[in-house]
Structure 1
Amino acid sequence: MRASGYERNADDWYVEPAWAVDALLTVEEKFGGTVIDPCCGGGNIPNRLKMAGCDALSSDIVDRNGAADLLGSFEIILPEIPHESVISNPPYNLAREFIDCALKHTTDRVCVLLRLAFLEGMKRREWFGTVPLARVWVSSRRMSMPPGGSDVPAKGGAIAYAWFVFEHGHRGPAQIGFLPDVGMGTINAEGDLGLSGE
């Protein structure tokens, strides 16, 4: 059992709440050009991007109910498909490799939804000094990330998450901010969020 309270998914596919994507889009400047999610899972992120008027593509190592426009690992897709930005909820155990690869093949921003604890660690601190981390958008409300492809319902989250935004050309320290309460719903009698879009 993971700290989140869910069993581990074989492909590290966990479904982010739709409001988390909407909240990112309210705090970041409009994304121009093509945005790709190369770890799209069921297509939640690219679907929300398209609803917001973004030119979005999706890919993954497995096609889940037709959600992926392209099939392949991020190491294969990102160098091959023209795009300006990446927005994704990548596998946590590959997050650093994912970010490095995405930065090599983008011209605007790389936005990744990760545990806030991604900021921790001596080796990671050294690595952060080599990449253009511009903003960290912290979710004050804990996110529920149930495993994809299951009928496990979303429940109150136990882990703090944030959007880490790497922006080409950024210099200096990262800005820390907080995601707005966009479409988050209300808390029910059990203390769980009734989230829109989940």
Structure 2
Amino acid sequence: MRASGYERQKHNWYVEESWVVDAMLQAERPFQGRVMDPCCGGGTIPDTLVKHPSGASVQECLGADLIDRSNGRFRIGDYGITLAALKPDSVISNPPYGGEEKEFIETALAHTTDRVVVILRLAFLEGQKKKVWFEGKGLARVWVSSRRVSMPPGGLGVKAKNGSTAYAWFVFEHGYTGAYPALGLI
């Protein structure tokens, strides 16, 4: 059993609650063009974006996942392959954890033109090696959730518990050259 109280989920499928996606969409400037979640699971991020008022400026909202978790609604495949094939302008995602976060961000940046927005543990900011890695990646903003986020395992019908981990949305923006990202509470 993990500290969260949930058993480890195969393929790192944990479901973000729609309220935390909505909070980021409220804070962030509207997305335009093609927006994709290449690790969409059951589709929380694409579904929330389409319903949100800022979703009106989105030309196309795409989703994909390694495994079909949405009864055929989204493309199936590894994020590197689906990002290269679908070429979104922006990515919004709850990416795989467990050491894959940096690779995911780099891959998403390589296949987008606007920005990559990922929800990660706030502790992702920590570390000297990470500080060096952040340089040149265009980390423009970090939206820290003022509420604790719960991410229960997907596909098991498990309800969200009271979260115990601090999460934030990390916004990597193409062309951003500031020394430090702006921090904000959502």
Give the superposition deviation at 1:110.
0.2
Instruction: Summarize deviations over 1:146-174 as a string: whole Å, max 9, x none.
Output: 00011222110010000000001111110
User: Residue 118 of structure 2 aligns to a residue in which SS?
Assistant: strand
Percent identity over the alignment? 57
Structure with the largest fraction of helix: 2
Give the superposition deviation at 1:20.
0.7
1:143 and 1:131 map into 2 onto residues whose CA distance is 26
2:161 and 2:44 map into 1 onto residues whose CA distance is 18
Partner of 1:120: 126
Partner of 1:134: 140
Partner of 1:100: 106
1:81 and 1:68 map into 2 onto residues whose CA distance is 15
User: Residue 11 of structure 1 aligns to a residue in which SS?
Assistant: helix
**TM-score, normalised by the number of residues in structure 1:** 0.87
**Following superposition, which runs of at least 4 residues in structure 1 exceed 3 angstroms of deviation?**
none
Instruction: Summarize deviations over 1:115-152 as a string: whole Å, max 9, x none.
Output: 00111122211101131000000001101110001122
Partner of 2:24: 24
Aligned pair count? 179
Counterpart among 176, 190, 196 of residue 183 in structure 2: 176
User: Residue 59 of structure 1 aligns to a residue in which SS?
Assistant: strand
User: Where does structure 1 lack aligned partners over 5 or more consecutive residues?
Assistant: 180-198
Give the superposition deviation at 1:65.
2.9
Partner of 2:92: 87
Q: How large is the Cα RMSD of the aligned pairs?
A: 1.1
The 1:142/1:67 distance shift into structure 2, 3 A limit, reads: farther
